[in-house]
């Protein structure tokens, strides 16, 4: 076992570890501890407690906000040395080191055992943040969220007396640590302790059956409706068709459970609105179903053309205007993503129904913005995600049919104010009648904790009576606070939107 590596600002590897993917955020810790086993994590946390240092953990560095890069953090834990993906025969589950990235997990699970987890598409996302916040991807309508496959977690925690220890918490309701497991099914990263290992299992007790198998092949399809061909009515129809289709096909036994689509709605400075679809090619009549879906989304709108790299930099995918059939592992890698060194800001909303006419009008108005790398992305939701009760996991959003994500990317820090102003005002306008945020009601259901947004805690931007805690966690917040009080009574693990002590 390698010795823990302690890096300071003079070490060449330091800069890469303290810098987040989102270039708005770079930390300044005195020490970075690169750790390779649980004992080293216990030692590093004990050192932080003993010396009164604020601590944070970095997983894949993909956090949307600057939680890890907080200037008050002086000891940063980097568990990238704890990244193995193994079959643990004793637990009958896959043991995944908390420093692994999604891409490494997908490769190891599929190559060795033919199975997968229904996680996100970006391969450099870390499991440390992703698994603790929910973990959604193109297989989620078929197989639920990643947390729906979480069997156990090992967490390094700090007691009221300052003692540091590692505990294993499982999904067994008889486990005295069960609540700590539950808090890791959507309570978000950086709140209860340092996760060192996740165990995943949802099926049988052999490695080939413990997790779902991905479809052997999928259809990929991507088209764009150019702005030049979209009048006001065409814009409204696209959004309305996409929303109503998802309302009608949200059941997990629907023939379309194997379909996941993203409607990418960029500003008018990009080429047009794109529809990117993945469909399980092994499902009965898959190709016909896919073609019918694309036709329904585009019904009443000028026919779409091929999606090209000009369709907006962030929307780029290889052309697939005619459906292309690919093996799962290749399709999965196409969307793997890369670090373009950009600054970014994001916002989210869950939708139980499609957008209202007033919301569509607000979205349309916000797209008159002379910057091509800004968009609203609408993702397919529902299916197996909604078969789980909202209180069964800490992640509560179990009856939405769409997930909406506003995004803006830029390179020059001098442009921060203008792009932040754009995304803030665009979002506020859509939810103008609810205090600027997607307060839960018959149509909306709050925000995704894995897409954190500090504006939700800012009274200037959230003028509703609904706090950020309720937007992320709904009725589950009270139980999360109890878990926090029990397992992190000194609030050692905290950030701008971590679960608060009761």
The binding site for ligand FAD (CB under 6 A) comprises 21, 56-64, 67-68, 79, 98, 120-122, 125-126, 128-130, 132-137, 189-190, 194-195, 337, 450, 495
Q: How far is the CB of 95 from ligand FAD (least distance, A)?
A: 14
Q: How far is the CB of 419 from ligand FAD (least distance, A)?
A: 16
Terminal Cα-to-Cα distance of the chain (whole angstroms): 40
Q: Which residue lies nearer to ligand FAD by CB, 82 or 297?
A: 82
Q: How far is the CB of 326 from ligand FAD (least distance, A)?
A: 19
The whole-angstrom separation of Cα 175 and Cα 453 is 34
Q: How far is the CB of 172 from ligand FAD (least distance, A)?
A: 21
Q: How far is the CB of 358 from ligand FAD (least distance, A)?
A: 28
The residues, any chain, with a CB within 8 Å of residue 198's CB and separated by 6 or more, are 95, 96, 98, 127, 131, 150, 152, 153
Q: How far is the CB of 129 from ligand FAD (least distance, A)?
A: 2
Q: How far is the CB of 380 from ligand FAD (least distance, A)?
A: 12
Q: How far is the CB of 21 from ligand FAD (least distance, A)?
A: 5
Q: Which residue lies nearer to ligand FAD by CB, 132 or 462?
A: 132
Q: Taking the mean position of all CA atoms in its chain, how far away is CA 459?
A: 25
Closest C-alpha to 121, from 132, 106, 131: 106
Locate 85 and state its tokens: 């993906």
The whole-angstrom separation of Cα 115 and Cα 134 is 19
Q: Which residue lies nearer to ligand FAD by CB, 126 or 438?
A: 126
Q: Which residue lies nearer to ligand FAD by CB, 304 or 447?
A: 447
* Strand arrangement, sheet containing 31-34: 5-7, 31-34, 75-78, 55-57
Sign of CA dihedral 442, 469, 159, 28: positive
Q: Which residue lies nearer to ligand FAD by CB, 342 or 420?
A: 342
Q: How far is the CB of 98 from ligand FAD (least distance, A)?
A: 4
The whole-angstrom separation of Cα 322 and Cα 307 is 10
Closest C-alpha to 77, from 149, 126, 4: 4
Q: How far is the CB of 319 from ligand FAD (least distance, A)?
A: 22
Phi-psi category of 495—alpha, beta or left, where left has phi over 0 and alpha has psi -120 to 50?
beta
Q: How far is the CB of 24 from ligand FAD (least distance, A)?
A: 12
Contact, 339 vs 268, CB < 8 A? no
Q: Kindly calculate the radius of gyration of the chain based on its CA atoms and give it in whole angstroms.
A: 22
Q: Which residue lies nearer to ligand FAD by CB, 219 or 451?
A: 451
Q: Which residue lies nearer to ligand FAD by CB, 137 or 214?
A: 137
For the chain, what percentages of helix, strand and coil (3-state, to nearest 5) are there? 30, 25, 45
Angle formed by the axes of helices 357-366 and 416-430, to 10°? 170
Q: Which residues of 307-343 are buried (b: 16+ CB within 10 A; e: fewer)?
A: bbeebbebbebebbeebbebebeebbeebebeeeebb
The whole-angstrom separation of Cα 11 and Cα 500 is 35
Q: Which residue lies nearer to ligand FAD by CB, 196 or 462?
A: 196
Locate 452 and state its tokens: 């954190």
Q: Which residue lies nearer to ligand FAD by CB, 258 or 298?
A: 258
Q: Which residue lies nearer to ligand FAD by CB, 64 or 461?
A: 64
Q: Which residue lies nearer to ligand FAD by CB, 260 or 362?
A: 260
């Amino acid at each position: 076992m390698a010795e823990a590596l302690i890096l300071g600002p003079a070490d060449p590897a330091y800069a890469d570890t303290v810098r987040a993917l989102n270039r708005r955020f770079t930390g300044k810790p005195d020490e970075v501890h690169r750790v390779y086993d649980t004992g080293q994590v216990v030692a590093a946390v004990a050192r932080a407690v003993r010396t009164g240092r604020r601590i944070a953990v970095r997983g894949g560095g993909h956090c949307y906000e600057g939680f890890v890069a907080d200037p008050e953090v002086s000891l940063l834990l980097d568990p990238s040395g704890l990244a193995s993906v193994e079959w643990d025969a004793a637990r009958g589950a896959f043991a995944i080191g908390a420093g692994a990235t999604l891409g490494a997990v997908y490769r190891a699970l599929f190559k060795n055992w033919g199975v997968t987890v229904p996680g996100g598409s970006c391969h450099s996302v870390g499991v440390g943040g992703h698994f603790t916040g929910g973990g959604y991807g193109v297989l989620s309508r078929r197989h639920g969220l990643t947390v729906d496959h979480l069997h156990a977690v090992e967490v390094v925690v700090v007691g009221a007396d300052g003692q540091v220890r590692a505990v294993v918490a499982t999904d067994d309701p008889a486990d005295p640590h069960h609540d700590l497991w539950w808090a890791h099914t959507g309570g978000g990263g950086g709140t209860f302790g340092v996760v060192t290992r996740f165990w995943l299992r949802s099926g049988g007790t052999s490695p080939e059956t413990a997790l779902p198998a991905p479809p052997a092949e999928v259809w990929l399809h991507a088209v764009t409706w150019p702005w030049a061909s979209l009048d006001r009515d065409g814009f409204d129809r696209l959004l309305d068709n996409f929303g109503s289709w998802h309302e009608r096909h949200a059941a997990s036994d629907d023939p379309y459970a194997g379909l996941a689509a993203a409607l990418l709605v960029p500003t008018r400075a990009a080429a047009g609105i794109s529809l990117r679809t993945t469909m399980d090619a092994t499902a009965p009549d898959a190709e016909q179903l896919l073609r019918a879906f694309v036709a329904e989304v585009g019904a009443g709108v000028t026919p779409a053309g091929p999606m090209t790299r000009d369709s907006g930099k962030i929307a780029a995918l290889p052309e697939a205007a005619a459906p292309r059939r690919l093996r799962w592992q290749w399709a999965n890698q196409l969307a793997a993503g890369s670090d373009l060194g950009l600054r970014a800001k994001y916002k989210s909303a869950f939708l139980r129904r499609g957008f209202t006419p007033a919301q569509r009008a607000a979205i349309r108005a916000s797209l008159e913005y002379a910057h091509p790398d800004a968009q609203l992305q609408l993702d397919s939701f529902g299916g197996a995600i909604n078969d789980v009760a909202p209180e069964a996991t800490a992640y509560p959003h179990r009856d939405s049919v769409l997930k909406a994500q506003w995004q803006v990317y830029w390179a020059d820090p001098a442009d921060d104010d203008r792009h932040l102003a754009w995304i803030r005002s665009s979002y506020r306008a859509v939810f103008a009648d609810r205090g600027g945020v997607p307060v839960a009601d018959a149509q909306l259901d709050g925000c995704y904790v894995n897409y954190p947004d500090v504006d939700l805690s800012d009274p200037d931007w959230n003028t509703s009576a609904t706090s950020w805690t309720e937007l992320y966690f709904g009725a589950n917040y009270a139980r999360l606070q109890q878990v926090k009080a029990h397992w992190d009574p000194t609030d050692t693990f905290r950030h701008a939107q971590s679960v608060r002590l009761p």
